[in-house]
Structure 1
Amino acid sequence: MQKLAGILLSLLLGVQVAFGQEFRHQASLPPVATDGFYKIAVTPAVAAWVKNNLADIRLYDSARREVPYLLEREQPVQTRQLFRAYEIVQKTSVPGGNTTLVLRNPGRSKINNISLLLKNTNVRKKASLSGSNDARTWYGLEDQYDLYSLYSRAATVRVNLLNFPLSDYEYYQLIINDSTSAPLNILSAGYYDTFSESGKYTAVPDVQFSQTDSAELKQTFIFFRNPVPVFADKLQLEITGPVYYWREATLYAAQFRKKRRRKTYKTYEPVATFRLQSDQENAFTLNNFKSDDFYLVVNNQDSPPLRIKNIQFYFRNTYLIAPLQKGQAYHLAFGNEAVSPPHYDLAYFKDSISAALPIITPTRLRALAAPDEKKTATIFKDKNIIWAAILLVIGLLGFMTYRLLQETGKKPQ
């Protein structure tokens, strides 16, 4: 019975190993000088071997302990707010009287609010605002500002917004009544400027292409050659002629489908369609594009083919934010279709981590297993055999339990 139990245990462990698929690629990280958080760049070379959702990346230390990280990706378009301070032309304070603040709006841009950056206070103030184009003759804008609750519970300063009718004066004068309490500590005055910024990308290297023009089909076929799969978020074409063009283009990628009898066949399906125009930059966003077999078709209709000088794919800058220690050797493991995205406690403390972190780049990327090793490994790589083994283990365990109960019942009381 003990021998049979040992056989069952070995069989069960074999099944577990079969399910625990290994990562197929690894990259080393350079040593860090000090303890702290770092941004680990996910380069196009690493991205070539990860899943489309980047879920199969793991970070390990020298003892092969998994290190938590936060995944950060540049957005295609990011909206940011910047506080832009106005020039303070005059700032005077008369004890028991008024504080006078004169600001300059040099471009005479149209504004309807001013933000005051104040040191925390819990006093109540009355204030008025006027405007001028020469800083001598003033015209009223607001005369009943009621300033109160001028403090923040999370910081030592607070931004207080003063709204007023839309105007374009060059100068604005704020008068604060200090007759009942000490003056406010005004650090600066300005406005929040909202602007959009394009995300940052890294060029995917070593993607070559060849162009074939078909007069019969009235199409141009562009075939790509790349040593590794391409994970790209943007595609940009450099076209030198003709002078004027307006063409529809479609990007096709290989897809593998299964028929009813489980036979796999390859087909090319459209993954992106866009328009090439002579009056704009021909750069296009791709949605989760990753392929090692793809081509581009341009519909020329009756126009001459395009002269394409260069085609470049780009990967959106992606980072792993992780705490690293001096003296430890770290590496990334990736390339495992079976794993799910990790869930770390670190995600709940994202706001506590500085945005300005040093960046390190993985080196010495290497494959841990041959791409077709899966086909020539043990019998436990076949899912049908794995499930048959599991059922066999369950059956044998049931038989052992039955025999054990019988033997126990035969023992003398």
Structure 2
Amino acid sequence: MRKKKIEGKPAAAKKKLGAALGAAVLLAAVPGGADARAEQPAPAAAPAVFGAAGETAAGRQTAAVFEARPAEDDYADSGTWNFAKEIQAAPGSQYQALFLDADVYARAEENLNDVRIVDSAGRFVPYYADSGEEGERGLDRQYPLELVDRAKSKSATRFDFRVVPASGSEDVRGSRLTFPLSQSSFLKKVRVQGSYDGQLWEDLTEGELYSTGEGIFRNVIELEEPVKYGYYRLIAPNGEEPLALTEGTLTDVGAAVSGERFRRTAELPFNVQPSARMSEVVLYNADKLRIDRIRLNASASDGSSSFSRLFYVNRAKGTGANTRVLSPTRLNRLELDGESVDDTEIRLAEPIRNEKPMIVIDNAGNLPLNIESIEVGYRVDRLVFEDTGAGPYRLVYGAERQPPPQYDLAAFRTEIERSKPAEAALGPENAARFVPPAPGTDGADPAPKIGAGASLQILFNVVLVGVALLLIVLVSRKLRKK
């Protein structure tokens, strides 16, 4: 039967035998053979890139999804990032520091858990976040200031104070100086310096201390950042009314931003809703900025040059006076000693991100203030990542229910900061959806494995090809004889 089948269909038999042997040759030609082919993962959906259709780093053609900006409550599933910004890395630096902007705060989750950095292949890039905050040290921890020296020159008087810690080993820290003032009318523009040993002094800030003698005063000087000096010096001009200081208090107000690098300013729209006694000033913080300073450009509606109004700050309408204020609780515009005082900046102990915070002003029977504009100061976060040459990089955000990333890079933060990362910049926002590569693909085609095992596999394949060729020769000769 076998002989008859071959004799009856020699061409078909040759075709089948050739196909089988050809498959063996092709199989042998693949590094790793059947096992390697079985290990090849199924092709993953190509990740969307931001821009027109183009090539990824692996050479696959992909297309970005562009559409009108969706509403904040109309995001896709939690595995999709809806917004992106190009990162313009600074040249010549291994580590890059990136400050977030208002667009990111507007569209990202409030805790920033959804913020990611991706490289050209769509892979997530490790980073650590830095808010610039010194951290909590206890709410309003206070240290007495002891006057240790007072010296008067022709033009100014200096007051040197020593910080008195609760214990001899305590590492003091503070960001707010308070002094009891006399009831006389005066205005002093003072300079503040700090020292660790009472010998070498460093400039800190400038401020105003004043009193009208009628219950309107400023006795507080806010420092720009928390500092750890053991001594403070105030230098005040003499004038007709000398400044008499004998004591004071240093206050640590808790989490405060270290340095101006983490601060930005913006002018916000607002609406004033006057009532018989109160004016409710509603700020429209659509970008959910972390506001900790509010400056009102205001004047008296009746044309007078001075006003003084009590106020408090609501995080949202109907919540009451629930925001701690570091500055005096009055908005003052005054004329003292022939000079103008414009004390209308509100400093908050903790930032607020509410979309409609409110300042409630007590007019006390006066006409409502004429508010021309409102400028806010807000805090920003900084991301630091390593430039491995896999750019261009992008910042993606706008995904729901993302867990916070846990990257190993944070463990090396101290060493990275010593290298002084360069400052990268963010480009304009794109409403382009990004879907990360499937797990295991890492955004690129898997590379062939090279090593000792691969060398043995290649030798085996060569032997297999040789055997296949020998079989072809033997079978061909046998068919000719038949």
Q: TM-score range by the shorter chain?
A: 0.3 to 0.5
TM-score (norm 2): 0.41
Structure 1 or 2: larger strand share? 1
